[in-house]
Structure 1
Amino acid sequence: MKILIIGGTVFLGRHLVDAARRRGHQLTLFNRGRHNPELHPDIPKLRGDRTSDLTALQGRTWDVVIDTCAFTPADANASARALAGSVRRYIFVSSIAVYRDWPASPVRESSPAFREGDGPDSDYGALKAGCERVFEKLLPGRVLHVRAGLLLGPYENIGRLPYWLHRVSGYPEIIAPGNPERRLQLLDARDLADWIISSAEQGRTGIINVAGRPRSVSMRAFLEFCKTVTGSSSRLVWTSDELLLQHGVEPWSELPLWMPQDQGPSVFDVNIDRALETGLRFCPWTETVRATWSWLLDGGTPGDAHRQHMEAPTLTRAKELGLLAVTPS
């Protein structure tokens, strides 16, 4: 197949390139050339800006486009109009954040998504839902909306797993947030990439949730394995939701993967039956941790963390030391 990837040089995009090449597809990348421009010297690259200059896409055709980075309805409108006559199908990497009742309630594909006017204009989930509506309006029946869950793995550009690996390897004791037995739902970006390329080959359309295996690992086991992989003897100081909130710690953004139980009881409760039925497979979560640590040791860095609509982990060591001082041993 001829595949156009919008992006292709950051996190999921890099894994999509790798997956498509392993399966022998013909690739073209469209991006601004700002992130890792030295990658993939043998793949044709079209330079432009999805927000202002899509002229490089004119006069070309592809079987499918994979869009990893439409964050606003305006983004979606511009690319859908530019490519409507040039591609057969459009794969949009959306988010489980489009669900209006998540993370308060479990979600599946039939759960209500944000509608126009439901959320503030700056809300990530509402914006992604707006993108979905635009794509479906302009490319009816031709779009696969991939509602992705929490992604981890090598090349991660937000810094969630790198945060924990750096933290346990760098300090003698650290804050471990919330209930240590809370079960997580983690997806390796490489598994998502493989599934997306397979879906492109199969011509899938519609809406599919793609998240990790439900209840696959506890927070305690996850952090203990981060210690094992890094060779760390760091002490994990488990700190309650109540104490963290009392001291002004921002859930999710300051401490990755932490969401207080009463604020997000179903943050890790995304139904993925449809993805499993269509071939989603998982590598062991331990392999995700190992591979990410190897990437970091080789000089990898989540250097593109401060992207629009994304927040890097921000808990300072000074704030953490203050919390350690008041957390019961």
Structure 2
Amino acid sequence: MTERNLKGASLKVLVLGGTQFVGRHIVEALLGAGHRVSVLTRGRTPDELPGSVERLKGDRDEGKAGLAALEGRTWDACVDVSGYTPRQVRVSAELLRDAVQRYVFISTGSVYAEQHRHPIREDDPLLPEAAEDVTEVTGETYGPLKVTCERIVEEVYGERATILRPQIVAGPYDPTGRYTYWIDRVAAGGDFLAPGDGSDYVQVIDARDLARFVVTVLEEDIPGVFNLAGPRLSWREFVDVAREATGADARPVWVDADTLEAQDVGWRELPVWLPVDSEQGGLMDMSSERTRAAGLTLSDPLTTARDTRTWSAGRPQKTFLTREREAEVLAAREEQ
């Protein structure tokens, strides 16, 4: 590929993934900035992208044969949203080595080894790498796999690599429902279980802020490693934001960590809650100082909450803490 200056140019961008949540926001942001976009997907999930997007079909799990649609093509940049295993990332990175000028890899804040640090910065130690032949993505392998994927991208692209490490991503189109659960629960009104005493922290990144920063990285041709973290709110502040965003008459009932543990209620039922002094408490204190200096702009938390509720209203969401279980825990609290 003939190298050219990406700055100020209308770019041709390949997005690996692109129809769901983070990928969709990235595609929409690129189109909004006047760039041309191709996406490579397996074609198995609903696609609501504009007609101007070029659709390419492939399966990264099939090795080089699964990327046949990319052969003989060139783009100015690639944004890898769907790389979870070294097998997937190795083949795409090497195939596109001479076909793109910049490779942006969407990693995760879960790569850090010392997740109790406050704050977590980009130069902090990472988890031990997973072996390149590991293909099963679980809660235990997710972070180590992403560490290996980062190393592969940096090994293949050097200064042409950009690594983005978002924490929990929030906003419209979110299939995980983690942040959305709280907005919807507050919107339902009444007394609701709120974890801790309100002094822990919530920190998420709006998917649209992430997407805008991807555009900045491509337009400014920025290399490096960047944390993507939003405003850090106490849980009391977060609940107040949710109440204002929804206009609901919702009343938090704070339940301390000991009671929650006694009732066997943890992070699986209470998404995005990580006590500040827990082993993973630093994931709610990720520094975005470097990223903001490079051009990251952050949405007001009220905007994220309002837009998430506008999208989620009337749409079925994942169930975390059921109303019945919530009532049981609140009753146990009262009995103490």
- Establish whether TM, by shorter chain, passes 0.5: yes
> Quick check: 1:178 aligned with 2:196?
yes
Greater mean alpha carbon deviation, residues 130-139 or residues 90-99? 130-139
User: Residue 24 of structure 1 aligns with which residue?
Assistant: 34
Q: Is 2:241–2:301's contact at 8 Å kept on the other side of the alignment?
A: no
User: Residue 213 of structure 2 aligns with which residue?
Assistant: 195
Structure 2 vs 1, CA of residues 210 and 242 (structure 1 numbering), >3 Å: closer, same or farther?
Answer: same
User: Residue 103 of structure 2 aligns with which residue?
Assistant: 90
User: Residue 332 of structure 2 aligns with which residue?
Assistant: 326
Structure 1 unaligned spans of 5+: 303-311
Distance 1:316 1:276 in 2: 38
Note the 1:58-69 alignment, pairs <5 A.
Answer: 58-69=71-82
3-state SS in 2 of match to 1:85: coil
> One-letter code of the match for 1:81?
E
Identity of aligned residues (%): 36
3-state SS in 1 of match to 2:310: helix
Note the 1:68-107 alignment, pairs <5 A.
Answer: 68-107=81-120
Quote the RMSD (CA, aligned, Å).
Answer: 2.1
Distance 1:8 1:117 in 2: 26
3-state SS in 2 of match to 1:140: helix
User: Residue 254 of structure 1 aligns with which residue?
Assistant: 269
3-state SS in 2 of match to 1:54: helix
TM-score by length of 1: 0.89
User: Which of 220, 227, 234 is the aligned partner of 1:209?
Assistant: 227
Structure 2 vs 1, CA of residues 283 and 85 (structure 1 numbering), >3 Å: closer, same or farther?
Answer: same
1:195-249 per-residue CA deviation (whole Å, 9 max, x = no partner) reads: 1111111111121112113x3x221222233233333223211101111122111
> Quick check: 1:266 aligned with 2:266?
no
User: Residue 305 of structure 1 aligns with which residue?
Assistant: none
User: Residue 235 of structure 1 aligns with which residue?
Assistant: 251
Task: Give 1 or 2: higher helix fraction.
Answer: 2
> One-letter code of the match for 1:256?
P
Q: Is 1:165–1:226's contact at 8 Å kept on the other side of the alignment?
A: yes
Distance 1:277 1:104 in 2: 22
User: Residue 151 of structure 2 aligns with which residue?
Assistant: 133
1:252-273 per-residue CA deviation (whole Å, 9 max, x = no partner) reads: x321221133323323221222
Q: Is 2:190–2:251's contact at 8 Å kept on the other side of the alignment?
A: yes
> One-letter code of the match for 1:68?
V
> One-letter code of the match for 1:128?
K
Q: Is 1:180–1:218's contact at 8 Å kept on the other side of the alignment?
A: yes
